Structure 1
């Protein structure tokens, strides 16, 4: 069923994580089924584009997020979102670390009566999201992230249309009627 022993070990680790954190199972299900404010597209945009363009750095302490380091004496975890994402992606590759369900699907049980279809990569990506309080960051900065995503996607669409038109109209052509 699974490609290799590494995926089986990863799945065992993921099952342990989600079984100890039932609230994450529910949150995961709500996000991937579209029953949450945050969409998969917005989360992906946050970690791939927004975090790179705005150099998102924050600190975590006891599930709280701080934009600035409040107290150097306490043990805060520093998150440089884009660098953390790239490190995870390099470590696991797209097969085992992916926002979307792009590879071999599995049935993941929420409880005895409820299950969802997902991938090992998506489960692993969301474990990373939950461990680094990225959901909280995304909710706190939702409007900014969403507007950035919409603006950039519209700019790219308009830019492509204009550039294709300009290339055709500005290119030199010789017509021969032989």
Structure 2
């Protein structure tokens, strides 16, 4: 994306966060590690958990989450297939402009109107969190925190155990070897 594209995206993101100041607070808490959810668990939710558990849910206009499509809802309801939506966003924006972690060019993003509080972030991280907020993924993660966290720990523990088993299966075989120098 060109500098012009980056500036347009940043302008759009700034407008979004200025209209939703509570999102700035949550964003700052998550980035600084003061929120219940960590960047790691959010990333793991959308990449691994959503893929292996085929997570989908419905969100109404007031950002309420429903596991089953309600019949008595008035207004628009949007179906979210978490993993497919994540992959579509990633394909649309690329990792450079859609990234939960602060990789690439960092910017200073002010979180209050007096410009006294700020966070060091990237356009990609701001864009990722806009998607998170628009699709109530933060709410989904908080509601299902215990299950997601347990699966993440179990998955990582399993990988470590498998790695240890693989490392111990290497055998050293003693053989005689003859070298000739002609």
Report the TM range for the smaller structure's normalisation. over 0.9
Aligned counterpart, 1:52: 51
Give the distance between the partners of 2:154 and 2:16, measured in 1 at CA: 37
Give the CA deviation at 1:175. 1.8
- Give the Cα–Cα distance (whole angstroms) in 1 for the partners of residues 168 and 4 of structure 2: 52
Which residue does 2:22 correspond to in 1?
Answer: 23
| CA–CA separation in structure 1 for the residues paired with 2:128 and 2:71 | 30
Q: Which moved more, 1:124-133 or 1:62-71?
A: 62-71
Q: In structure 2, how many angstroms separate the alpha carbons of the residues matched to 1:9 and 1:119?
A: 14
SS of match in other structure, 1:145: helix
User: Could you tell me which residue of structure 2 aligns to residue 106 of structure 1?
Assistant: 107
1:25 and 1:107 map into 2 onto residues whose CA distance is 13
Structure 2 unaligned segments of length 5 or more: list them.
none
Q: What is the TM-score when the length of structure 2 is the normalising length? A: 0.91
Q: What TM-score, normalized by structure 1, do the two folds share?
A: 0.93
Structure 2 CA distance for aligned equivalents of residues 67 and 4 of structure 1:
41
When Rg is computed on C-alpha atoms for both structures, the one with the higher figure is: 2
Query: 1:64 is matched with which residue?
Result: 64
Identify the residue that residue 150 of structure 1 maps to in structure 2: 153
Q: Shift of residue 63 of structure 1?
A: 1.2
1:33-79 Cα deviation digits (max 9, x unpaired): 00100000000000000000000000001210000001276421000
- Cα distance between partner residues in 1 of 2:143 and 2:21: 23
**Which residue in 2 is equivalent to 1:42?**
41
Residues 5-49 of structure 1 show CA distances to partners (whole Å, capped at 9, x for unaligned) of 111110000000001100000110001100100000000000000
RMSD: 1.6
